[in-house]
Amino acid sequence: MDYATILQILDSAVRLMTPLLLACLAGLYSERAGVFDIGLEGKMLMAAFSAAATAAVTGSVWLGLVAGILAAVGMSLIHGLAAITFRGNQLISGVAINFLASGLTVLLGQSWFALGGRTPSLEGAARFGSITLPGAETLRSIPVLGPFYAEVVSGHTALVYVAALLVPGTWWLLYRTRFGLRLRAVGENPASVDTAGVSVPRLRWAAVAICGMLTGLAGAYLATGLSAGFVKEMTAGRGYIALAALIFANWRPWRALGATFLFGLMEAVANRYPELDMGFVTIPSMVMSALPYLLTVIILAGFIGRATPPRAGGEPYVKER
Amino acid sequence: MALPGTQATAPPAIELRGISKAFGPVQANRDISLVVPAGTIHGIVGENGAGKSTLMSILYGFYRPDAGQILVGRRDAGITDSQSAIRAGIGMVFQHFKLVPNFTVVENVILGAEDGALLAPSVSRARKELRRLAAEYQLDVNPDAVVETLSVGHQQRVEILKALYRQADILILDEPTGVLTPAEADHLFRILKGLRDRGKTVILITHKLREIMEITDNTSVMRRGEMVATVPTRETSPEQLAELMVGRKVLLRVDKAQAAPGTPILELSGLRMVDRAGVERLRGIDLTVRAGEILGIAGVSGNGQTQLLDILGGYPEAGAQVTGTARLAGRTLPLSGTDARARRHAGIGNIPEDRQAEGLVMDFSAWENTVLGRHRDAGTALMDNDAIRSRAAAQMERFDVRPRDPELAAKNFSGGNQQKIVVAREIESRPILLLVGQPTRGVDIGAIEFIHRRLIELRDAGAAILLVSVELDEIMALSDRIAVMFDGCIMGERLPDATSAAELGLLMAGASPSGIPPEQGQPDPDEREPAKGVI
Ligand SMILES: Nc1ncnc2c1ncn2[C@@H]1O[C@H](COP(=O)(O)OP(=O)(O)OP(=O)(O)O)[C@@H](O)[C@H]1O
Ligand SMILES: [Mg+2]
């Protein structure tokens, strides 16, 4: 395997990582605040559809992005209403969101575009174009680092860089600001926040809204950055993979970057080598493309490391029985 | 409403007027009025479920009252949530702490009281302030320690520091000593006195009348959601307070006849237990409990008592190695098994140490709980629910469980009444051996008296009772013989009439008392002299 191939795989890993990272950070905000969110998948799907549909109709990827965010935030509000205001079961609400998105996207897609649930292919300004970072071409001649910069670091769409910046941003917000302190506290022991004179619902609503925005970015990126349009069930379990990555990352931002990169890398390798020839044995493509999902199962089953979820996660805050 | 004679010279720090609060069908507080003079320590006593915690939580803005007014320093404080209570200068240490376990002390202290959007300035100010408070009030804690690694006593200090950091002038403490060792409790009282000396007002909820007599200036008594009296503490007595609490005379001592021990029921020899981590928890226990006697096991908690009870109950910790022999009424009792059902069948009753985790299913109704562990006795797979219900109702009547509603879920009873449900179930199963762990932890004196009387009755009916308690007063009051446990060993056996708290304290601390006459033995610092006649 030569250096150029490695760079290609890494480049593709970064692209494939991005929706996972955005969704993973989305889940991080929500779950750190104590609201478990199994509905990442549905929100992403809904956002992907809205973004693609809007971009197809208006021809503007930015309007598509706004529509994607709005759609995901809208779904988040449903989850917030069920989980925070009505103190319902967060798992059930999340599953309902996934079903809702899965059905609604196809139904609306078919009735608006009559393409069997897809949206029309996007091109030009209706898609995110890649950004060449300054100096990418001039530095290319520097051995090893130059091509790495030009191939892997440069040349992605805006949302990839947004996602990358969100990692230190989230870390800073979580550990360096008042909002972060309160957010982490409300996921561990909401009564401590309440008795400190801070509103528990308000904090959780803020977290759920942020979660909506980030899944919006993730979905929009899928449909208008990574692909050129919406296809039925195009999230393909990425919401669940992001959840697995979140657990693997132990609900921390930098580790989320690492975990989602690992998943992205696996997908990239599987795409590049549908059948991996290991010399003595050839790994069939089925196994290769199942890799990220297998890893998800292994992580969710708790085989890797010890995850310590936010203590109050999944439980509505009820003061009076 | 201050009774005549209350120390009312100081202006009131707090005045409650006509506070009422209902949780669904439960009227937790009914038209309560209370005046707390500034610069005093004010005690609040009352039975389990009397509404003490509810009232204080209302004062702290945690619950909203259905009716009533809260005045702080003669002005309506407009307390609608904890934030407004904090602004009015009120701080509260809850019965169950409200700390974030994986945060450091500083983070817990500044939470909700940050100086700005960025943490760094708040943290450095908090550090300075914590150092000052530590010096002023003997409230030392490492500001960078993670709270969950601290002892309960230190966690409590963090709660007090939280209140002081918010410049509270009025500090409420809800049963602060229930979780403390005697030495920690003494330290806490020194802190509280220090606060009073600096003009702060302290409200202290406790079940221990000894503490009321020791530290408070005035005492209020609550009963079934109402405030029945407020009296200057030095004009009252534990007996009077107990009577006010319960509404009848309470015997603060247990009256019991001489025991008439019969044949050995439980004989343990060489009982050893090594837990999964390889730590030896029991190191060769030899014990005999006879029919018609109570063997009390004294000891600081964590010295193997829990393991002993679990093994005898038939549910030793997973992965534990148990060796030694046990005989129940002459027949060999296999020790290694995890078969609680067989133990019950053999006639062992069990009042476990943690009633909420082991004694009850909190979401089940009272009547369902009364049949747990006995649910196979009928021999059919179908339950005769009507029969169970009516038996439960009768049982609740006999054991004075309040409210007397078999349909109510266990979690909706107060701690003392939950315990009565467990005690009723176990005693009425007519065991030949009853295991009893911490029967009155967090339980009010009326219920303590009741539970103690029932245990004595069971003894007099010929049952053998193995009583484990960390309350030395309880051990002294109930036991016919006392064994002291330390570090997995029995340090010695004493007769209650022929020993002293000081001697038992020495044994509990692992000191061998041989050669030291009990009178000269220095009491362990962790051991307080029980006041005579006071529970
Ligand atoms: N959050 C709640 N929701 C419903 N009912 C409650 C709640 N808190 C307390 N209660 C009920 O209100 C009554 C008063 O409870 P409270 O906790 O104030 O009693 P307490 O005097 O503090 O008792 P204890 O000595 O056991 O702490 C009890 O019957 C209790 O079951
Ligand atoms: Mg209470």
Structure token digits, residue A22? 């955005």
CA B504 to CA B483: how far, in whole Å? 9
Closest Cα to atom 18 of ligand 1 = B51
Residue B175 contacts A where some CB pair is shorter than 8 Å:
no
Q: Identify the CATH number of the domain in which residue A213 sits.
A: 1.10.3470.10
Alpha helix ranges (H) inside B42-103: 52-59, 82-87
CA B65 to CA B76: how far, in whole Å? 14
pLDDT band at B521 (very low <50, low <70, confident <90, very high): very low
In tens digits, chain A (321 residues) has pLDDT values of 788 899 999 999 999 999 999 999 999 999 999 999 999 999 999 999 999 999 999 999 999 999 999 999 999 999 999 999 999 999 999 999 999 999 999 999 999 998 988 899 998 888 898 888 888 888 888 888 888 888 889 889 999 999 999 999 999 999 999 999 999 999 999 999 999 999 999 999 999 999 999 999 999 999 999 999 999 999 999 999 999 999 989 999 999 999 999 999 999 988 888 777 777 888 887 888 888 888 888 877 766 667 789 999 998 999 876
Among A74-78, B155-159, B316-320, B394-398, whose mean pLDDT is lowest?
B316-320
Structure token digits, residue A98? 């996934």
Does the domain at residues B12-246 carry the CATH identifier 3.40.50.300? Answer: yes
Asked, as a colleague might, if the bond just before B403 is cis with ω within 30 of 0, I would say yes
- From B23, B203, B223, the mutation candidate for ligand 1 (largest count of ligand atoms within 8 A of CB) is B23
Query: B124-150 pLDDT, tens per residue?
Result: 999 999 999 999 888 899 999 999 888
The domain in which residue A282 lies consists of: 14-132+157-303
Site of tokens 């990358």:
A164
Task: Note the ipTM here.
Answer: 0.90
pLDDT band at B95 (very low <50, low <70, confident <90, very high): confident
pLDDT band at B442 (very low <50, low <70, confident <90, very high): confident
Segments of A56-204 assigned E as strands? 130-131, 156-157
How many structural domains compose chain A? 1
Helix, strand, or coil (residue A166):
helix
CB contact under 8 A, B100 and A188: yes
pLDDT band at B255 (very low <50, low <70, confident <90, very high): confident
Residue B119 contacts A where some CB pair is shorter than 8 Å:
yes
Closest Cα to atom 27 of ligand 1 = B48
Helix, strand, or coil (residue B279):
coil
Ligand lying closest to the C-alpha of residue B225:
1
pLDDT at B23 over 80: yes
| Burial of B39 per CB tally in 10 Å (0-12, 13-18, 19+) | buried
pLDDT score recorded for residue B444:
82
CA B95 – ligand 2 centroid, Å:
6
pLDDT score recorded for residue B9:
61
pLDDT band at B356 (very low <50, low <70, confident <90, very high): confident
Interaxial angle between packed helices A61-80 and A200-221, expressed in degrees from 0 to 180 and rounded to the nearest 10? 140
Interface contacts (A, B; CB < 8 Å): 82
B325 DSSP β-pair partners: B269
pLDDT band at B283 (very low <50, low <70, confident <90, very high): very high
CA-nearest of B90, B50, B48 to B73 is: B90
pLDDT score recorded for residue A303:
67
Query: B487-515 pLDDT, tens per residue?
Result: 899 999 999 989 888 788 788 877 765 54
Quick count: other Cβ atoms within 10 Å of Cβ B32? 24
Residue A192 lies in a domain: yes
Angle at A106 between CA A101 and CA A110, to 5 degrees: 150
Nearby residues of B71 by Cβ (< 8 Å), 6 or more positions away: B12, B14, B15, B16, B17, B77
Quick count: other Cβ atoms within 10 Å of Cβ B353? 21
Residue A318 lies in a domain: no
DSSP codes of every residue in A213-262: HHHHHHHHHIIIIISSS--TTTTTTHHHHHHHHHHHTTT-HHHHHHHHHH
- From B29, B53, B402, B417, the mutation candidate for ligand 1 (largest count of ligand atoms within 8 A of CB) is B53
| Matching fold, domains B12-246 and B263-347+431-509 | yes
pLDDT band at B531 (very low <50, low <70, confident <90, very high): very low
pLDDT score recorded for residue A208:
97
- Give the chain A residue nearest B28 (alpha carbons): A320
Helix, strand, or coil (residue B142):
coil
B50 touches B225 (CB < 8 A): yes
Task: Report the run of H or E that residue B46 belongs to, with start and end.
Answer: strand B41-46
B471 touches B440 (CB < 8 A): yes
Domain ranges of chain B: 12-246, 263-347+431-509
CA-nearest of B419, B426, B424 to B313 is: B426
Residue A265 lies in a domain: yes
CATH architecture, domain defined by B263-347+431-509: 3-Layer(aba) Sandwich (3.40)
pLDDT at B523 over 50: no
pLDDT at B534 over 60: no
Query: B58-70 pLDDT, tens per residue?
Result: 999 999 999 999 9
Residue B60 contacts A where some CB pair is shorter than 8 Å:
yes
B337 compared with B325, residue with greater pLDDT: B325
Query: B463-491 pLDDT, tens per residue?
Result: 999 999 888 888 989 999 999 998 899 99
CA B339 to CA B39: how far, in whole Å? 57
Assign 3-class secondary structure to B282-343.
EEEEEEEEECCCEEEEECCCCCCHHHHHHHHHCCCCCCCEEEEEEEECCEECCCCCCCHHHH
CA B244 – ligand 2 centroid, Å:
18
Residue A81 lies in a domain: yes
Helix, strand, or coil (residue B408):
coil
In one-letter notation, the amino acid at residue A179 is F
Helix, strand, or coil (residue A37):
coil
In one-letter notation, the amino acid at residue A220 is A
- Check if B411 has its Cβ closer than 6 Å to any atom of ligand 1: no
- Check if B46 has its Cβ closer than 6 Å to any atom of ligand 1: yes
CA B224 to CA B246: how far, in whole Å? 9
Q: Is the dihedral of CA B192, B195, B197, B203 positive or negative?
A: negative
Nearby residues of B58 by Cβ (< 8 Å), 6 or more positions away: B19, B21, B29, B64, B65, B68, B70
In this prediction the pTM is: 0.81
Residue A176 lies in a domain: yes
In our burial notation (b when 16+ CB lie closer than 10 A, e otherwise), range B288-316 reads: bbbbbbbbbbbbbeebbbbbbbbbbbbbb
Chain A CB contacts of B27 under 8 Å are none
Structure token digits, residue B424? 């009723």
Residue A200 lies in a domain: yes
Helix, strand, or coil (residue A103):
helix
pLDDT band at B532 (very low <50, low <70, confident <90, very high): very low
pLDDT at B7 over 50: no
